[in-house]
Structure 1
Amino acid sequence: MKPHAELRDFWEQRLRSDWTESGVGYKALGRAFNTWMYRVRAEGFRREIASLGLDLAKARVLDVGSGTGFYVRQWRALGAESVTGSDLTEAAVERLRARFPHDTFLRLDIADPGDALEESSYDVASAMDMLFHITDDTRYRAALRSIGRAVRPGGVFVLSENFLHRPEQRSDYQVNHPLPWITEALGEAGFEVLRRVPMLVLMNAQVDANPVWRKLWGGLLRAVTLTEVTGWLAGALLYPLERRLVRVLRESPTTELMICRRR
């Protein structure tokens, strides 16, 4: 496990050099393929949030780990009028403030935000594609507790994760936890799970699949995305199938979206 300071520096350098979907996404698959992948993410996110019936015009929204602001844009597209974003890196925050001048962006470590986030002050919070990058389990749980304190009772928390049905998987910059572990940590932070749905199926690493399939599909994805041209074509071909799969499947071998409510 990398020290926290080293992880922070890694993301600072990565986002300063590549502030695009590939910088915050699956970098090995290239920018063109990631663009198609994020189209699927956006559609699923907006569909699930819209189904909640939230009055976003009157809601205060907190987006944790804003990165390039991709999900800030989704909240705006859904009608949110007040969005507060946050990120661990100065590289992201300084650019987010320029890109979204009417929103507020805080540089903070969600595992230890100090008094930056007022207690019970947000109606909705999101933490998309970032919690699995907190490789220290204690800090992961602390991050969820911080979000739990910031969201008002009855408020909504939306997160994306790789909810494994297998033993945890660890690397220097990512940890994929089992579903029961994450559910328990959410409960400790004051959240109850409402539902979990696929966010991607084939357009990402098959972290929860059979190891043979995971290796074969991962190798194929990397092969067809060796250039931006082939990556764009691969994304365009997979896009309609992926849109269908995330709607009809109940579980996915990769990233899923979970919606929780603050007790």
Structure 2
Amino acid sequence: MMKTNAELRGFWENRLSDDWTESGVGYKSLGRAFNLWMYRVRAEAFSREAATLPLDLATARVLDIGSGTGFYVRRWQLLGVKSVVGCDLTHAAVNRLRERFPQVDFHELDIAEPGDTLEPGSFDVVSAMDMLFHITDDVRYKAALRSIGRVLRPGGFFVLSENFLHRLEQRGDYQVNHTLPWITTALDEAGFEVVRRVPMLVLMNAQVDANPVWRKLWGGFLRAVTLTEQTGNMAGALLYPLERRLVRLLRESPTTELMICRRR
């Protein structure tokens, strides 16, 4: 049975209250040390792609959705963006984000039903990193895309990460991995055109779009080498240089990819 919105909100409220770190917002079962290495790869991929957006980032107005620990808020700031607004579903995250980034406005809201908090057409860029696949109701997923389209100016950019499956859709209580055609159709219906899609991770995450045998074997290997924070740190350090190269070399990935879209 699909979880209710209240159950989903409660799950994330409890998770981020208990663990407001990279493991809390990332691949929790692999531990914080490994996640820190994983997020280094994410940071490089995100910054490299976001820096190519054809606009003046110093004067752009950016909205980050599902801000979590503020990881991508910081990435935007490091790219020179001076006007960043963040939002998150949870009270736990928003309270801590306001302490960590006192100069940034943060809103506690559900992007599928944002109300009138966000002014239409007021942002040049919106980012939604590793959060859309946690909207397990397809109707609300599409509503979130429409909300994002409304707050972007015409010609504005939408930067997102998803799993974009070529294989069959995968459904769980707190995550749904949609197919690439399903996502691109939903984006098109919301008024977006895809600019490009590139790997964000390759080996340092669940192999959701890989052969089931490889997916199970590699998942077991990752869990085995991250049983402790010490071994997780060693595994992350060893995989990191390979992962950086794979992300740059490959055109597609069996796990998280980054997509840039433009609002028509």
For residues 111-166 of structure 1, the C-alpha deviation after alignment (integer angstroms, 9 at most, x for no partner) is: 00000111000000000000000000000000000000000000000000000001
Q: Where do residues 113-132 of structure 1 align in structure 2 (5 Å cutoff)?
A: 113-132=114-133
Per-residue displacement from partner, 1:153-204 (whole Å, max 9, x unpaired)?
0000000000000110001000000000000111111110000000000000
Q: In structure 2, give the amino acid aligned to 1:104.
A: D
Distance of 2:5 and 2:168 partners within structure 1:
23
Q: CA deviation at 1:223?
A: 0.3
| Residue in structure 2 matched with residue 23 of structure 1 by the alignment | 24
SS at match of 2:58: helix
- 1:205-224 per-residue CA deviation (whole Å, 9 max, x = no partner) reads 00000000000000000000
Find the counterpart in structure 1 of residue 177 from structure 2.
176
Q: Does 1:154 align with 2:183?
A: no
Matches within 5 A, 1:209-224: 209-224=210-225
**Cα offset for 1:53?**
3.6
1:54 Cα deviation from its structure 2 partner: 2.5
5+ residue gaps, structure 1: none
Q: How do residues 89-128 of structure 1 correspond to structure 2 at under 5 angstroms?
A: 89-128=90-129
| Alignment size in residue pairs | 263
The answer to which of 53-62 and 177-186 deviates more is 53-62
Verify: 1:143 aligned to 2:144, yes or no: yes
Q: What residue is the counterpart of 1:208 in the other structure?
A: 209
Q: How far apart in 2 are the matches of 1:158 and 1:152?
A: 14
Task: Using structure 1 for the length normalisation, give the TM-score.
Answer: 0.99
- The answer for the alignment partner of 2:74 in structure 1 is 73
Secondary structure of the residue aligned to 2:262 is strand
Paired residue secondary structure (1:11): helix
What amino acid does structure 2 have at the position aligned with 1:2? K
After TM superposition, the score normalised by the length of structure 2 is: 0.99
1:2-21 matches, within 5 Å, as 2-21=3-22
Partner in structure 1 of residue 50 of structure 2? 49
- Consecutive unaligned residues of structure 2, counting only runs of 5 or more, are none
Name which of structure 1's ranges 159-168 and 45-54 shifts more when overlaid on structure 2.
Answer: 45-54
Deviations 1:3-29 (A, max 9, x none): 110000000000011000000000000
In the alignment, the residues of structure 1 paired with residue 54 and residue 40 of structure 2 have an alpha-carbon distance, to the nearest angstrom, of 22
Where 1:145 maps in the other structure, the secondary structure is helix
Q: Which structure 1 residue ranges, 4+ long, deviate > 4 Å from structure 2?
A: none
What RMSD over aligned residues (CA atoms) do the two structures have, in Å?
Answer: 0.5
Q: What is the rounded CA distance, in whole Å, between the counterparts of 2:249 and 2:188 in structure 1?
A: 28
